[in-house]
A and B are shown apart, each in its own frame.
Chain A
């Protein structure tokens, strides 16, 4: 007889208006266990969590099902008792630490609020317990921080405060809704480590909601995969990562970029998640499934047990026939390596933003967003620029295409020096380089139709001045990026995120550039959509001989796409070289830490290099090597002097005192 699980959800159905956001979901979470709900955006993960807390948005109703917490049905409780459960028995951590804290209350007050409500503490005891909690979540100098306000904290520290608040009521169950999605990879590693240790210490159950397979691999004991409002597969972690059964789960794995897929195309899931307000016949994934057969389209599959604890909702399961995992087509066209002719040469680029203060607005300092960056991009080459948020990598991109005026340095594009060109001269060059932005929702004007969006650049730069030829060019562009011709006369809001990013790519291509600066073009997209966009970028490169400056924080994407990589830290490049060399033999401690912080999905897990603290401010970078306060191997010389460039071999360069010694 198994003990009653901590949380038992059975047949939960939640509706938001006509949308059946959660449909017949059952699972359980035991004490001391982490259950991960995995799925892409819009599949109902967050709604499941909100249904448990009974915090559904307006028009949201729970139609059926039971949510048993330690045997007590939460759905039957009156609202007044439910308030004791929220923050008491169940703690919740939200995705966005920037907006989850009230900016006008000090963090002590916010943590204390929950302590007062659920633990009846007050006065000195309250303060002592608040400090204790903040210490427990690893907030440095908690006694002083307690009277600070959220704006004085970094993103990682805010997330720690959020965790402290969730822990204040001594919860038995912690719901973490994408707790690290908004954080950088090194901070993510810190927060995940913290969550793991707290859970072990307190013996809590944890419901982890995420779209990131890597986070699941690091954290979960059991995994539930959600698709279109229902669970399709539940399995223990190891079983899931060794042999995922459901075609959707397997597609998710295959869509992940990485070295294995290099040179080939990524697996994509065709089509889109079906609208949840329609009635479903058969399996919800059938339309997008390679292995679907007649039964899938007519009958909803039932749960089948594959092994102890591993159940799946698929018609293939009872027959036992497992379609072979599609093997990625390897090394179709390996780009010719070697010295390509340089298209872009950047030397000692600096972008400083002045800090002014006082009555006369005198300059008192500068934010050195970019502080002496040099890089080269050859024709048809992809250079990845990697770094955490706030390290200045986006500013490098914008300074190269002259959206931000560089303070100093040279940008030589195709033989002309961009920094010295006037407005007219620059316009003549503009069609040569374009940018693709991170957020497809804010990069398209909502008031313009696609035809107007595409036309704008062509008209401004005089590409295809004749209307007929322009129309033909736009037709071809839509073909190239894989959109239907009917898209031309529609507005951006009628498209999904992935489609919008295709429009943004078409807009950049419209003026026939030779270099495209891609600023995290896939970070706002789901894994399967990311795969589509990455495939598209790669195809376009092969077809048109484009060069990319690919700005990202996602190392597997770099591994998949880029020939060369440059790692940036606090406005400077710390290591650069061939992707393979740098990623396999990183020489700079920061590169090593970045690589180690990225969650590993399969294979052996090397020991983590934990980076302590946050990224320092660009306005006041540390003296000597910028990285030394966070570096485990820092020496005396690192504190005094910025290291010079060391050429390890023809494929790798690094800026580190350590490399000097070894070499």
Chain B
């Protein structure tokens, strides 16, 4: 075997979540009243463009969740040994980004280091200058004259490749649509480019074109340069940013997974049974709400940290150690953030339980559990969905803030919060190291903006009051 698969705890939960989304999609397809609002989401251009961007992030995050330990080079006859380093499918696809480490800081697309060093020349004399990078622009004989040309050339190639792929995509899509619509390929093509379809294919194609061009330009440049520069220990910042995507997604999704059962169960039970059950649950969430969240999280994360250090035998790799801390952070964020949705669901359930169809069910002697699952839950679904999608971006940002404060994910873990935290110290230096912060900002901004736009279109589609006839 060349490698050994490693299933981290968060990996398992991510695939569980993926399976849940798959089942939900299948369920939605079978229920008309659920399918109709999703169809409205499909026809919203902004929402669909945001969905494409989100999909790119999700694909990267999923690739980064397939973990393995590579086999070490062994003499024949010896039992296979596996490395202690846990890699992912994403690492396997980006070997250069991972392994091409410089000595320390270098600016984006630079050919030289960011700090002067004493260089021993061939003739034995020493000079203080910016040394050449080991990998960045190493193919250039004379960077001062060739650098600009090389960069422009690479960007041009990236754009051309992007356009070619887009054109292929357009043709493929037109061919597919032509099979379903009358008028043949040309008519389908015209309709596609004029935007005459119910699903905003044109917007989708434009988004894809932009993403493809951007991606391919970066691929072209990253082959020879550090597109976002390098950090203090010479690690490629683009690589760090890409690896941080998974952390952000895990926090955003798994926290919801933890929070949902609390919010659903307690909210519905409180609203449905009222009386002392309601009082108890209300006291619970008002109390929880009045404890400062950061304090609770800091305390829990510290407890977890102590536990990890006291039981080193439980975790075989450093990845497993930081992973359990990430999972615990999701848990504790989930436990502190269910109150909002719970309150919302309680109110809605209070209203629903007075509806006459629920009274009719009571008159049939239908059991409480069945009334909750058959009558109340389906009528709360839109609220849950809207809240989950809206909360996602907030949680991604919360991770960055908590890590920055020092109570977030493990410092060894790639995350936007850690990037910002390490960039903080360099903000005061002259000349300033700006690219770490900027890279984290660009990636977070793209993800959160896409998530918010998508959430908006979901909300519009599911909110019965906002529907324009």
* Interface residues of A, Cβ cutoff 8 Å to B: 17, 58-59, 398, 401, 403, 426-427, 430, 434-435, 437-439, 442-448, 456-457, 460-461, 491, 504, 507-508, 511
* Cα distance, A456 to B374, chains bound together (Å): 10
Q: Compute how far the CA of A434 lies from the CA of B374 in the bound complex, rounded to whole angstroms.
A: 20
Residue on B nearest A447 in the bound complex, by CB: B378
Which single member of A59, A437, A444, A447 contacts B469 (CB below 8 Å)? A59
Q: Complex Cα distance A499/B428, Å?
A: 73
Q: List 7 A-B contacts (CB under 8 A).
A: A58-B468, A403-B362, A438-B356, A439-B356, A445-B357, A446-B379, A461-B364
State A491–B33 Cα separation when bound (angstroms).
8
Q: Judging by beta carbons under 8 Å apart, are B360 and A435 in contact?
A: yes
Closest Cβ–Cβ distance, residue B104 to chain A (whole Å): 60
Determine if B361 is an interface residue (Cβ-Cβ < 8 Å).
Answer: yes
Compute how far the CA of A457 lies from the CA of B33 in the bound complex, rounded to whole angstroms.
Answer: 22
Q: Are A442 and B362 in contact (CB under 8 A)?
A: no
- Complex contacts, B363 vs chain A, CB 8 Å: 401, 403, 430, 434-435
Min CB distance B371 to A, Å, is 10
Check B356 against A443 for contact (C-beta < 8 Å): yes
Picked from A426, A430, A444, the residue with its CB within 8 Å of the CB of B357 is A444
Max chain A C-beta neighbours (<10 A), residue from B359, B365, B374, B469 = B365
Binary contact readout B347-377 vs A (1 if CB under 8 angstroms, 0 otherwise): 0000000011101111111110010001100
5 additional A-B residue pairs with CB within 8 Å, beyond A445-B374, A447-B375, A461-B365: A430-B365, A445-B378, A446-B379, A457-B364, A504-B360
Count residues of chain B with CB under 8 A from any CB of chain A. 21
- Assess A442 versus B357: contact at CB under 8 Å? Given A447-B379, A456-B374, A491-B32: yes
The 4 closest A-B pairs by CB, nearest first: A457-B364, A443-B356, A447-B378, A427-B365
| Chain B residues with CB under 8 A of A438 | 356
CB nearest to B370 among chain A residues? A460
CB neighbours of A403 from chain B (8 A): 359, 362-363
B229 to A: closest C-beta gap in Å = 52
B374 and A448 form a contact (CB under 8 A) = yes
Give Cα distance in the complex from A242 to B452, angstroms.
Answer: 65
- Nearest to B31 among chain A residues (CB) is A447
In whole Å, how far is B279's beta carbon from the nearest beta carbon of chain A? 10
CA separation between A448 and B375, bound complex, in Å?
Answer: 8
Q: A432: shortest Cβ distance to chain B, in Å?
A: 11
B375 / chain A contacts, CB cutoff of 8 Å: 445, 447-448
Q: Bound state CA distance, A579 and B360, in angstroms?
A: 29
Contacts of A504 in B (CB 8 A): 360
A437 & B356 in contact (Cβ 8 Å cutoff): yes
B364 lies within 8 A of A447 (CB): no
| CB closest chain-A residue, reference B359 | A403
Chain B residues with CB under 8 Å of A448's CB are 374-375, 378
The answer for the CA separation of A273 and B32 in the assembled complex, in Å, is 26
Contact status B32-A445, CB under 8 Å: no
Report the minimum CB–CB distance from A447 to chain B (whole Å).
4
B359 pairs with A437, CB closer than 8 A: yes
CA gap between A435 and B365 in the complex, in Å: 13
Complexed CA–CA distance, A504 and B364 (Å)? 13
Q: CA separation between A430 and B357, bound complex, in Å?
A: 16
Residue of A nearest to B364 (CB): A457
Contacts of B378 in A (CB 8 A): 445, 447-448
Question: Which residues of A sit under 8 angstroms from B360, Cβ to Cβ?
Answer: 435, 437, 443, 504, 507-508
A540 to chain B, nearest CB (A): 18
A540 to B359, CA, bound (A): 23
Supposing A427-B365, A448-B374, A456-B366 touch, asked if A435 and B468 sit within 8 A by C-beta, the answer is no
Report yes or no: A460 in contact with B365, Cβ–Cβ below 8 A: yes
Name the interface residues of B9-58: CB closer than 8 Å to any CB of A. 32-33
Q: What CA separation (Å) do A398 and B354 show in the bound complex?
A: 13
CB neighbours (8 Å) of A445 from chain B are 357, 374-375, 378-379
Query: Could you tell me the distance in whole angstroms from the C-beta of B278 to the nearest C-beta in chain A?
Result: 13
Q: How far is the CA of A461 from the CA of B367 in the complex (A)?
A: 11
Enumerate chain B residues within 8 angstroms of A430, measured Cβ to Cβ: 363-365
Alpha-carbon distance A444/B355, docked complex (angstroms): 9
Q: How far is the CB of A248 from chain B (nearest CB, A)?
A: 28
Q: Are the CB atoms of A442 and B355 closer together than 8 Å?
A: yes
* Alpha-carbon distance between A13 and B367 when the two chains are bound, in angstroms: 53
**Closest B-chain residue to A58, C-beta based?**
B468
What B residues does A435 contact at CB under 8 A?
359-360, 363
- The one of B32, B365, B370 in contact with A426, judged by C-beta atoms closer than 8 angstroms, is B365
Cβ contacts under 8 Å, B357 to chain A: 442-445
Chain B residues with Cβ under 8 A from A426's Cβ?
A: 365
Write out, one digit per residue, whether chain B residues 361-401 have a CB within 8 A of any chain A CB (1) or not (0). Answer: 11111110010001100110000000000000000000000
Chain B residues contacting A456 (CB-CB under 8 Å) are 361, 364, 366, 374
Which B residues are CB-close (under 8 A) to A461? 364-365
Residues of A close to B367: CB separation below 8 A: 460
A504 CA / B357 CA spacing, docked (Å): 9
Interfacial chain B residues near A17, Cβ < 8 Å = 469
Minimum distance in angstroms from B355 CB to a CB of chain A: 5
